[in-house]
């Protein structure tokens, strides 16, 4: 009773009973203090979470660096991320440098050729609101403005189709429907691709080493102004001799010997010509023509001088009325007259030697309209190859149509046989098949007898 009374009314506490020496399970708790509620000062505060060394009351707390990121990590922990970020910056810098360099070269080209284009054509570019006028060219304001490296490419004159390809367009000229020009530059923005192309060119002859070039295609009217020029009356161009823009069709070319073999393999129109060197041209160039009389007419002193000035920057100058790809149908043999000029872009940026040839190329349609009307003997020789191609395609077309007719007859014959069999009973079908088998055996025996 005394113990119960003391426990209920706070009497004196009995002393801890001793733990037997042999019982080691309770040895760790023999001197454990009585549990008591934690004091308010031991609860973590905002200052301790923030890394403060002492509370406002001045009581010290344990120091930890868990919430200080600059103490938990160092720059050496971000080596991998640093390498990736560095590579990204390098790739971006190379891309920006390559694209800006290509834009600069494209601006140099158009600024050098803009006076020629504006002099020869009424409209240069894609007809934007800022298209240059003839007054701009006369005052040389166009070339000067585009020569400024701080200016962007004039989108209405030279259009960027890709970081390595730029195009322009011109129209509005007598004897010429329109002109397309394409600049193909190096992939400076992608050194790995450029290196791969150089490597492939070392192992495959069909893949030339990458180079920068200009390709221009001039489309003559050839007497079809009424189909493209608004306001023209059909047949009106035949009333006056000076407005007639037609000329005889043929294939003729001046070709750089380094690209001659590849050109023959790639283009059907050039493959029908014969190659002949001439002392009038430099040793690196040759003529590909269908007739010597055509060569004598086209190889003028002005053209020879322009070719010599351009040097080996000239790839080819081609006058043609045949398709590039070998005709596979009769529709492909319809003559379509075009003039091609392909030239390498000088790495120095000096276009003074190539502009004369480009100017001659633009005015070449006038020379063809004036004098490309040859004797019947010359045209007969020119038409021989074309007529052979037409006859070959006609024969192939007739054979294809005959084969189609045979297939249709066989289908009709089989359908008739199936209908006849379907209308018979089992006995009649058996008799029908036996007769059919006898007919086939007689046909085979007759064939064997004929061969023997």
Residues in the chain: 452
Q: What is the mean pLDDT of the chain?
A: 79
Provide the 3-class DSSP secondary structure of residue 357: helix
Residue of 248, 121, 251 whose CA lies nearest to 178: 121
Q: Report whether 387 contacts 333 (CB < 8 A).
A: no
Look at 31-45, 197-211, 287-301, 397-411 and tell me which has the smallest mean pLDDT.
Answer: 31-45
Q: How confident is the model at residue 64 (pLDDT cuts 50, 70, 90)?
A: low
Average pLDDT over residues 76-84: 89
Would you tell me how many other CB atoms lie within 10 Å of the CB of residue 333? 17
Among 141-145, 359-363, 368-372, 446-450, name the one with the lowest average pLDDT: 141-145
Give the Cα separation of 413 and 83 in Å (integer): 76
pLDDT at 316: 96
Spatial CA neighbour of 255 closest among 277, 226, 231: 277
Q: What is the mean pLDDT of residues 17-28?
A: 50
Domain extent listing, the chain? 52-165+185-210, 215-355+366-393
Summarize the confidence of residues 33-54 as an average pLDDT.
50
pLDDT digits (tens, 9 = 90+) for 205-241: 778 888 999 999 999 998 887 776 555 544 444 434 3
* Higher pLDDT among residues 295 and 50, named by residue: 295
pLDDT confidence of residue 143: 45
Q: Angle, to 10 degrees, between the axis of helix 355-371 and the axis of helix 79-120?
A: 40
Q: What's the mean pLDDT in 264-280?
A: 91
Going from the C-alpha of 353 to that of each of 339, 346, 420, the distances in angstroms are 21, 10, 82
Residue 129 above 70 pLDDT?
no
Q: Output the CA–CA distances (angstroms, integers) from residue 377 to 321, 322, 384, 429, in the order listed.
A: 19, 20, 11, 69
106: pLDDT strictly greater than 50: yes
Query: What is the 3-state secondary structure of 74-137?
Result: CHHHHHHHHHHHHHHHHHHHHHHHHHHHHHHHHHHHHHHHHHHHHHHCCEECCCCCCCCCHHHH
Residue 23 pLDDT > 80, yes or no? Answer: no
Confidence (pLDDT) at 167: 94
Contact criterion met (CB below 8 Å) for 253 and 289: yes
pLDDT: which is higher, 101 or 236: 101
Query: Which pLDDT does position 236 carry in this prediction?
Result: 40
Kindly tell me if the per-residue pLDDT of 439 is higher than 50.
Answer: yes
> How high is the pLDDT of residue 60?
65
- Among left, alpha and beta (phi > 0; psi -120 to 50; other), residue 231 is left
CB atoms within 10 A of CB 271: 15
Which of the 8 DSSP states describes residue 172? E
Query: Which stretch of 229-238, 374-383, 390-399 has the lowest confidence by average pLDDT?
Result: 229-238
- Residue 342 and residue 307: Cα distance in Å, rounded? 12
- Collapsing DSSP states into helix, strand and coil, what is residue 173? strand
Between 150 and 267, the higher pLDDT residue: 267
Q: Looking at residues 314-332, what average pLDDT do you find?
A: 90
pLDDT digits (tens, 9 = 90+) for 171-196: 999 999 999 999 999 999 999 998 99
Encoded tokens for 227: 């189909």
């Amino acid at each position: 009773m005394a113990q119960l009374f003391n426990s209920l009314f706070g009497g004196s506490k009995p002393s801890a009973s001793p733990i037997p020496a042999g019982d080691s399970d309770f040895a760790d708790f023999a001197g454990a203090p009585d549990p008591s509620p934690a004091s308010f000062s031991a609860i973590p505060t905002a200052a301790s979470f923030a890394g403060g060394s002492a509370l406002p009351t001045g009581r010290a707390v344990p120091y930890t660096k868990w919430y200080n990121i600059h103490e938990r990590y160092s720059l050496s922990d971000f080596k991998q991320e640093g390498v990736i970020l560095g590579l990204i910056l390098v790739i971006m810098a190379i891309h920006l440098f390559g694209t800006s360099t290509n834009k600069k070269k494209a601006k140099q080209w158009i600024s050098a050729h803009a006076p020629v284009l504006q002099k020869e054509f009424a409209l240069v570019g894609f007809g934007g609101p800022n298209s240059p006028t003839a007054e701009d060219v006369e005052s040389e304001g166009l070339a000067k403005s585009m020569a400024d490296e701080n200016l962007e490419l004039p989108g209405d004159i030279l259009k960027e189709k890709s970081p390595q390809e730029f195009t322009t367009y011109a129209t509005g000229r007598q004897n010429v429907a329109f002109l397309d020009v394409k600049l193909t530059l190096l992939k400076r923005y992608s050194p790995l691709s450029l290196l791969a192309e150089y490597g492939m060119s070392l192992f495959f002859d069909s893949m030339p080493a990458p180079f920068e070039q200009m390709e221009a295609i001039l489309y003559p009217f050839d007497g079809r102004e009424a189909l493209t020029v608004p306001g023209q009356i059909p047949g009106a161009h035949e009333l006056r001799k000076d407005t007639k823009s037609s000329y005889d069709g043929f294939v003729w070319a001046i070709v750089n010997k380094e690209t001659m073999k590849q050109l023959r393999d790639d283009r059907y129109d050039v493959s029908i010509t014969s190659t002949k060197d001439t002392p009038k041209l430099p040793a690196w160039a040759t003529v590909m023509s269908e007739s010597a009389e055509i060569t004598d007419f086209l190889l003028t002193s002005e053209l020879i001088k322009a070719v010599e000035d351009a040097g080996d920057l000239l790839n080819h100058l081609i006058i043609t009325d045949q398709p590039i790809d070998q005709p596979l149908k009769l529709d492909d043999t319809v003559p379509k007259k075009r003039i091609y000029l392909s030239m390498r872009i000088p790495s120095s940026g000096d276009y003074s030697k190539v502009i004369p040839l480009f100017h001659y190329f633009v005015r070449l349609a006038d020379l063809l309209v004036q004098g490309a009307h040859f004797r019947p003997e010359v045209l007969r020789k020119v038409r021989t190859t074309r007529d052979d191609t037409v006859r070959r395609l006609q024969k192939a077309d007739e054979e294809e149509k005959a084969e189609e007719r045979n297939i249709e007859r066989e289908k009709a014959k089989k359908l008739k046989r199936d209908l006849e069999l379907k209308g018979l009973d089992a006995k009649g079908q058996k008799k029908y098949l036996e007769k059919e088998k006898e007919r086939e055996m007689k046909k085979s025996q007759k064939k064997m007898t004929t061969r023997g």
